[in-house]
Amino acid sequence: MKTGTMNLPLHGGKAPYWLFTRMKNLSREIISLVVSEYGAAEMLKKLSDPLWFQAFGCVLGFDWHSSGVTTTVCGAVKESIKGLEKDLGFFVAGGKGRTSRKTPQEIENAADTMGMDFSNLVYSSKIVAKV
């Protein structure tokens, strides 16, 4: 495992609409291909790897040294897989700001869609949000 640190400059604002739209479209295709070839568990493993995630953000067109890569890429992934969650085998809930308050409801909606009990995730989400 590689270890180390990265120093990223802090940028304000948000990604331009035209860029975010392209990021959503490209991330949908990449995620669909990875899940098709390797499965949902491998996709989640890749998304949780900080180096892979940073590279993914670059491939999607986000500036490699921007401090906003995490929230922007996560937002693009969340938007890109809307409606495909059941087929892909995973969902994305939450966000920043006001969107973060909808996380428990988004988890419950995903549980209904997937026909599973995610009450433990709702509880975990609420506890983690207090930290």
Q: How many independent structural domains does the chain possess?
A: 2
- Can you give the residue range of the structural domain that contains 120? 93-131
pTM to 2 decimals? 0.86
| 103 and 74 co-located in one domain | no
Sign for the CA dihedral angle at 13, 100, 51, 54 comes to negative
What is the chain's Cα-based Rg?
Answer: 15
pLDDT of residue 82: 96
Domain boundary (52, 69, 85) is at 85
Residue 25 lies in a domain: yes
Written as tens digits, the pLDDT of the chain (131 aa) is 777 887 777 777 888 999 999 999 999 999 999 999 999 999 999 999 998 999 999 999 997 677 788 999 999 999 999 999 999 999 999 998 899 999 999 999 999 988 999 999 999 999 998 87
| 97 and 121 co-located in one domain | yes
pLDDT of residue 64: 66
Please return the burial class of 7, using the count of CB atoms within 10 Å of its CB with bins 0-12, 13-18 and 19+. Answer: exposed
Please return the burial class of 61, using the count of CB atoms within 10 Å of its CB with bins 0-12, 13-18 and 19+. Answer: middle
pLDDT of residue 30: 99
Residue 9 lies in a domain: no
| 36 and 80 co-located in one domain | yes
